[in-house]
Structure 1
Amino acid sequence: MFGAVRVALALAVLGLAACSGAGRDSATAAQPTLPPVVQSPVPEDSREPAVKDAAPEPEAELAAEAKPAATVASPPLREPIELTFVGDIIFGRYRTTGFDPIVGEGERPFDDILATMRSDVLIGNLETPLVYELPAKSPIGAKFAFGASKAMAQHLVDGGFTAVSLANNHSFDQRAEGLLQSPKILEELGILPLGASRSEPPVFRVETIERRGWKIGLLAVTSRRNAPQFAGTPELPFLSTNEFTATLGPLIDAAKPTHDLIIVFVHWGEEYADAPGRHQQNQARALLDRGAHLVVGHHPHVLQGIEKYGEGAIAYSLGNFLFENTNEIPRLTGVLRARFTATSCLEALTFHPAYIKRTPSKHPVPATGGLGKIVRTRMRTLSEALETTLEASGEDLVLRRSCAAGN
């Protein structure tokens, strides 16, 4: 019955419009307008009494019946992300005769291992300061002194590096010029400098990379330095290892609400030691407890083990990657690949074995066959000493964990 009444009323309205000669536009303009939406509550004493059982306007009810229901699109799911990490990189060193480059003219040192390094974000430790004009003689008197020009740093671009750490003990090898020019050169090349020396506070800071909907916080520090802090020069982000949690913990706390991942990149430990010290282990675990997802280390110039801890992991040392020392153990290296699910869960940590090949000039290549077995054996043995089992997967080693829904 009510439907028939509605149809009759609608026909009557259309008939009146036709008799009056009104066109379609004027009929639309004559529609009753809806009251504005009230954004804030109206005080009780100013509200009008509600009208109960009021019949709706015929035209409005017909329009409501004809209007399709609104649909709300679900937000797109974030895809998993992969990050890769490598160890120490230099492009040459000073000898008594002058600068001795590692990479030959026209060579591309990372080409043989590009496929292994490729990921959404690639980070390494640049253990050499950069300057626009590389001096022929070392500006410092140390036996081991490094340096590189902007042209040499172009190899990092060719290798696909997203960021490199400058927080290490060779940061002062080109004196104040290297401290000041290194981050500028990297920025000009489109590479993010991590742990750069600062002339203004804060010295310790979380750097941010955004990739494919992910916001990644990177914190780079060193517990090793070859020179004291000189007045009037930028300050290196240097800390004693035992001070890591007290200084870096609050930075992690502040970054957690605005970042999907937090990675701590540290230059620490003893050179050529097979295992980290207990104080390193304690501090690395504390950083993971505080909210970091990974701790990645370098400086010992040899591979050390990987430790699974809580929902994260610690790679104590990734050794050398592009370096002049190609002795039996220091030449063993690798690429560490971390895969995180859309919920920021560390799903898999894959170690790709590699070594530094001596010819035609020193450069990293994947380790397969007999050399691959040597690298895998070292990494598995040292990781087992840290109560962590790495599974073999072809030429690689993998640490897996279950990422349940919500993790």
Structure 2
Amino acid sequence: MSHRIGFTGDVMLGRLVDERHRRRSPEAVWGTMLDRLRACDGLFVNLECCLSSRGEPWRRTYRPFHFRANPKWAIPALESAGVDACALANNHVFDFETVGLTDTLDELDAAEIARSGAGRTLEEALEPAHVTVGDRTIGFVSLTDNVPEYAADESSPGTAYVDIDVEDARTRTTVRETLDRARSKSPDLLIVSLHWGPNMVERPPESFGRFGRWLVDQGVDVVYGHSAHVFHGIEVYEGRPILYDTGDFVDDYAVDDDLRNDRSFLFELSVGDGGRPSELRLQPVEIFDVAVHEASTDAAAWCRARMRARSEEFGTSFERDGEALVLPLTE
């Protein structure tokens, strides 16, 4: 039996998104994408904010932006879309200091939404999540190379921070140990979320390519990247998709007229018998009115053209199905 697993770009529910949607029904943030999100058998997002009404903005080092959403509407919003797991290893989950971070952990736990990538200690931050989707178990690991001052340690809260460098022995050891813990429950599918690299760039550095392929060599089935606010090309390595960057899905950010950080996709992975990825479907989306929507005809054409161009260097080509791009996955 095939299952469809959805992945989104950054979900930032703070600032104007928070202000606007406190006065709306929680599901309004998903715009015209709500039914499609609900139709996924499993849904994974990068939660680019903390969920709290408490805490003071991080001032220990300079941080220009601080993102926080009130959990009274944000948790029902995540539940309304059927979000199964949140990646928390990113550069905003600690924006409102320890209380904001721990509130986020507690709110997600109370809602029974799985999470990985941040914790009260390094051990908790590195702990993989395990999600049941139908008759399948999915292991979910979340790591970041953003904001080293947010990194957890043995006795302090923070994120699961690593240097993205396959030549770094410490990184290799940390990642291998984390993947071993993820495999302890014999998941049918193993996903690694990576919040990596700088903002507003159109392609990943070669070091990310080496790291992504190394992860697949370690047994990872899906590399799920984000951070740039701009979607990147997709590589298929050994039949496994490397999503170098999934762009943005919900936010209130200023829009670059060329890079169009308000446009991306819902990435839908079909997983067949034995837990093997068989197809990746890319449904174009765009952000407006601080909500995500199915892309207009012109925006969808722009998304398809940019994705095709950005994926050429990886030898990746797509089929077309309506407004969507379709990528068969074969070794």
What TM-score do the two structures reach when normalised by structure 2? Answer: 0.88
Q: Distance in 1 between matches of 2:326 and 2:251?
A: 26
Q: Deviations over 1:323-379 (max 9, x none)?
A: 11251311011100111111222110111111102xxx3111111411110011111
- Aligned-partner residue type, residue 252 of structure 1: L
Q: Deviations over 1:285-344 (max 9, x none)?
A: 000011110000111011111111112110111111111125131101110011111122
- Aligned-partner residue type, residue 114 of structure 2: L
Which portions of structure 1, spanning 4 or more consecutive aligned residues, are displaced by more than 6 angstroms? none
Q: Which of 42, 49, 66 does residue 121 from structure 1 map onto?
A: 42
User: Does 1:174 find its partner at 2:101?
Assistant: no
User: Does 1:106 find its partner at 2:24?
Assistant: yes
- Aligned-partner residue type, residue 388 of structure 1: T
Q: Which of 148, 151, 158 does residue 69 from structure 2 map onto?
A: 148
- After TM superposition, the structure 1 = structure 2 runs for residues 261-272 of structure 1, keeping only pairs within 5 Å, are 261-272=189-200
Q: Which of 278, 297, 303 does residue 375 from structure 1 map onto?
A: 303
Q: Deviations over 1:216-275 (max 9, x none)?
A: 110011110263558863132100111554421343345447111100011002211100
Question: Offset of 1:104 from its aligned partner?
Answer: 5.6
Q: Which of 117, 121, 126 does residue 199 from structure 1 map onto?
A: 121
Q: Which of 272, 276, 281 does residue 341 from structure 1 map onto?
A: 272
Aligned to 2:313: 385
Q: Which of 55, 80, 88 does residue 158 from structure 1 map onto?
A: 80
Q: Distance in 1 between matches of 2:325 and 2:246?
A: 14
Q: Secondary structure at the match of 2:266?
A: strand
Question: Offset of 1:93 from its aligned partner?
Answer: 2.6
Aligned to 2:51: 130
Count of residue pairs brought into register by the alignment: 316
Question: Offset of 1:146 from its aligned partner?
Answer: 0.7
**Percent same amino acid among aligned pairs?**
26
Q: Distance in 1 between matches of 2:230 and 2:119?
A: 26
User: Does 1:251 find its partner at 2:175?
Assistant: no
- After TM superposition, the structure 1 = structure 2 runs for residues 216-227 of structure 1, keeping only pairs within 5 Å, are 216-225=138-147, 227=149
Q: Secondary structure at the match of 1:297?
A: strand
Between Structure 1 and Structure 2, which shows a larger proportion of strand residues?
Answer: 2
Q: Which moved more, 1:106-115 or 1:330-339?
A: 106-115
- Aligned-partner residue type, residue 8 of structure 2: V
Question: Offset of 1:152 from its aligned partner?
Answer: 3.0
- Aligned-partner residue type, residue 279 of structure 2: A
Aligned to 1:292: 220
CA-atom RMSD in angstroms: 2.3
User: Does 1:396 find its partner at 2:324?
Assistant: yes
Q: Secondary structure at the match of 2:208?
A: helix
Q: Is the 8 A contact 2:54 2:100 kept in 1?
A: no
> Larger C-alpha radius of gyration, 1 or 2?
1
Structure 1: which 5+ residue stretches go unaligned? 1-78
Question: Offset of 1:200 from its aligned partner?
Answer: 6.1
What TM-score do the two structures reach when normalised by structure 1? Answer: 0.72
Q: Secondary structure at the match of 1:144?
A: coil
- Identify if the C-alpha distance between structure 1 residues 110 and 168 changes in structure 2 by more than 3 Å, giving closer, same or farther: same
Question: Offset of 1:157 from its aligned partner?
Answer: 1.2
Aligned to 2:283: 352
Q: Which moved more, 1:251-260 or 1:84-93?
A: 251-260
Aligned to 1:234: 157
